[in-house]
Structure 1
Amino acid sequence: MAEQVLLTGASGFIAKHVALRLLNAGYDVRGTLRRLDRADEVRAALAPHLGDRAGTLSFVQADLEADAGWTEAMAGVAALVHTASPFPVAQPRDANLLIRPAVEGTRRVLKAAQAAGLKRVVLTSSTAAVINDGKPNTLQDEADWCDVTLPETTAYAKSKTLAERSAWEYARASGLALTTINPGLVLGPPLDEHYGTSLYLVERILKGRDPMLPAIGFPIVDVRDVAEMHLRALQRPATEGRRYIAAAGTLAMVDIGLVLKAAYPVRRIPTRVAPNLLLRALALVDPGVRAILPKLGHLDRVSNARAVQEMGMEFVAPKAALLASADWLVKHGRIWA
């Protein structure tokens, strides 16, 4: 009988790819959804990619902000993959709108896992929980943590950092065997048109919404590599108690523009760096611009050495992940060719 894995937030961009990897590896997957009417959406996204020997897929209703459903969700599962977490398009004025559900939701899920006698947990965190803005433009790794006390730390970074720290504290106290996967900016092809906010950056640049690009850069990873790391974490007991950065390298925004302009030369894609003063003015009316102000002048860089050495990962290059995103958006009519 196949082992069953509980996958939280199963309708998410990353989670659908994780579900696909798990199913094709022979695991049975039980996905949590806030609304069960999204179950058919997830099934339809996965169905074209499932092999003949895939495991079975089922769903249960459960919400990070409520206790109901989690006891039933955990019944009979061998492992938990916790991907569910809020991801905003723009930073909220009240940071607690992100922090509270992320931290309390993580605690709620881990508590239910412990109560069910479950031991193995893989949690999706973020490089936002790794990158310390007090050390800009330096190569950072799993030993680093975001400093939530810095005034420039965003609400999203605080939410991911505090949620992950809470998970490690709970795991140490309860004996849960925890592994965290910390992805950078997740690009690559979605499995359907419900991909949340992860590809909005690429969509925005392809649409030429901005005449210039901010002087910032992100660690980038392909969603298929993120999913593979979740699978390898489950399959390798040696990963227990470890953090793993999921990133193939860093691209500056202007380099993202140049790559996309080369691929789509007729599109009005920006390729110049915007003056910081202009961005600060735009931030007064555009929440999306306001969200990146603390990162101006930063080229965030992280090391993937641990994932390469301990998991055997061979990452899709950042440029290839970016172009896979853009090609999907154009092919599926999200961007007119």
Structure 2
Amino acid sequence: MKKQLVVVTGGSGFIAVHIILQLLQQGYAVRTTVRSLKKVALIHQMLTTGGVSDFTDLEVVSADLTSNQNWDQVMQGATYVMQVASPTPTLNFKNEDEMIRPAVDGVLRVLKAARNANVKRVVLTSAYGAIFAGHPNRTTPYTEADWSDLSAKNIHPYQKSKTLSEQAAWEFIQKDGRGLELASVNPVGVMGPVLANDYSHSNIQIEDLLTGKIKSVPKVDSGYVDVRDVASLHLLAMTQPQAKGERFLATTGETLSMLDVAAILRAHFPAFANQLPTKELPNIAVKVAAMTKPYLKMVAGLVGTYAETSNHKAVTELDWHPRSAATAIIATAQSMIDLGIVTAPKRQ
């Protein structure tokens, strides 16, 4: 029997490669896109680290979200599409359209090609950023019913890009989908095992904490979720009939401060204890620093904000059961130690 083909966009990405791992382990054929075929060796290396070394059912092809080229061929014969790729957030953008336009256009490009190839369902990797931004006086956990309020002041262009691209996807399905199904997965901070020294911005936080780069942490609360559970939620959203037309918040439902994260690392990796911060920065210090350091702008917008989330929908409707946030954080650190990305400081 011919295996069902799933297209996964952006195959070298942290979430995408874990999705590919689980698809191959569950007997699907996978065709994944990369901007450059130079990434093939990296994808094979990460999958091997993750436990898959037979690439018979994996095809890697070149396609870029910013160009129409190849997308029609990419979709040929596919039953499902995981639209994971996203233009990487540039920190030194001149205007926010540099982030927003490619994100919106890229999603629409994939949806059009999927519809034209009679794909059954697309699962869109959206983000918590499309849910929580612009709600200053929140007191109840965020759910899938929430959308970021883009009329609010000081919303980071990355959050705008995630919100507008997801909204564009739902609008396309409604007006031009012609029966194409859509589900979205909106993860909070994604942790879990890195499979090579190429990983997402949320993991860099763990590397910076372990290596002592961060002396004091901003007062930022966040939800965390393991990448393996984000991947399994994508597969549930792809296959379960009841996921059609629905959004799913990928969160453990726990909220941790950055100091909590440091404490988890200290308890499990005592060799790094002296590198890990024990103090929080005053909010005003973070905001002042962000005026001259663009990479702090997103963090500055999050200090002191409410960040509780609920996973009730994914748990009850899709029978999804994520690992704890601590497990995800420990797995990130352990994988970085195992791969030699971080090394314990020498004893004095």
Normalising by the residue count of structure 2, what TM-score does the alignment of the two structures yield? Answer: 0.92
Which of 251, 264, 271 is matched with 1:259 structurally? 264
Q: State how far apart, in whole Å, the 2-side matches of 1:268 and 1:99 are.
A: 37
Say if 2:41 is the partner of 1:36: no
Q: State how far apart, in whole Å, the 2-side matches of 1:287 and 1:176 are.
A: 39
Match of 2:75 in 1: 74
Q: State how far apart, in whole Å, the 2-side matches of 1:26 and 1:228 are.
A: 14
Structure 1 unaligned spans of 5+: none
| Deviating more after overlay: 29-38 vs 271-280 | 271-280
Give the letter aligned to residue 47 of structure 1: T
- Relative to structure 1, the CA distance from residue 62 to residue 242 in structure 2 (aligned partners, 3 Å threshold; closer, same or farther) is same
Which of 308, 316, 320 is matched with 2:315 structurally? 308
Which of 185, 207, 214 is matched with 2:211 structurally? 207
Q: Aligned-pair distance for 1:54?
A: 8.3
CA contact (8 A) 2:134 2:151 kept: no
Say if 2:194 is the partner of 1:190: yes
Q: State how far apart, in whole Å, the 2-side matches of 1:288 and 1:242 are.
A: 33
CA RMSD of aligned residues (A): 1.9
CA contact (8 A) 2:170 2:182 kept: yes
Structure 2 unaligned spans of 5+: none
| Deviating more after overlay: 279-288 vs 139-148 | 279-288
Q: Aligned-pair distance for 1:261?
A: 2.4
Q: State how far apart, in whole Å, the 2-side matches of 1:303 and 1:323 are.
A: 22
Give the letter aligned to residue 122 of structure 1: V
Deviations along 1:224-282, one digit per CA (max 9) or x if unpaired, are 00000111112211111100010112211121122222233433211211112222232
CA contact (8 A) 1:261 1:271 kept: no
CA contact (8 A) 2:186 2:250 kept: yes
- Relative to structure 1, the CA distance from residue 83 to residue 328 in structure 2 (aligned partners, 3 Å threshold; closer, same or farther) is same
Q: State how far apart, in whole Å, the 1-side matches of 2:202 and 2:8 are.
A: 19
Which of 129, 140, 143 is matched with 2:142 structurally? 140
Match of 2:104 in 1: 103
- Relative to structure 1, the CA distance from residue 244 to residue 133 in structure 2 (aligned partners, 3 Å threshold; closer, same or farther) is same
Give the letter aligned to residue 160 of structure 1: K
Percent identity between the two aligned chains: 36
Q: State how far apart, in whole Å, the 1-side matches of 2:29 and 2:5 are.
A: 4
Match of 1:177 in 2: 181
Report matched runs for 1:196-275 at 5 Å: 196-248=200-252, 249-265=254-270, 266-275=273-282
Say if 2:326 is the partner of 1:325: no
Q: State how far apart, in whole Å, the 2-side matches of 1:80 and 1:292 are.
A: 32
Q: State how far apart, in whole Å, the 2-side matches of 1:109 and 1:272 are.
A: 45
| Deviating more after overlay: 79-88 vs 89-98 | 89-98
Q: Secondary structure at the match of 1:140?
A: coil
CA contact (8 A) 2:134 2:150 kept: no
Deviations along 1:49-70, one digit per CA (max 9) or x if unpaired, are 4569987000111000000010
CA contact (8 A) 1:27 1:54 kept: no
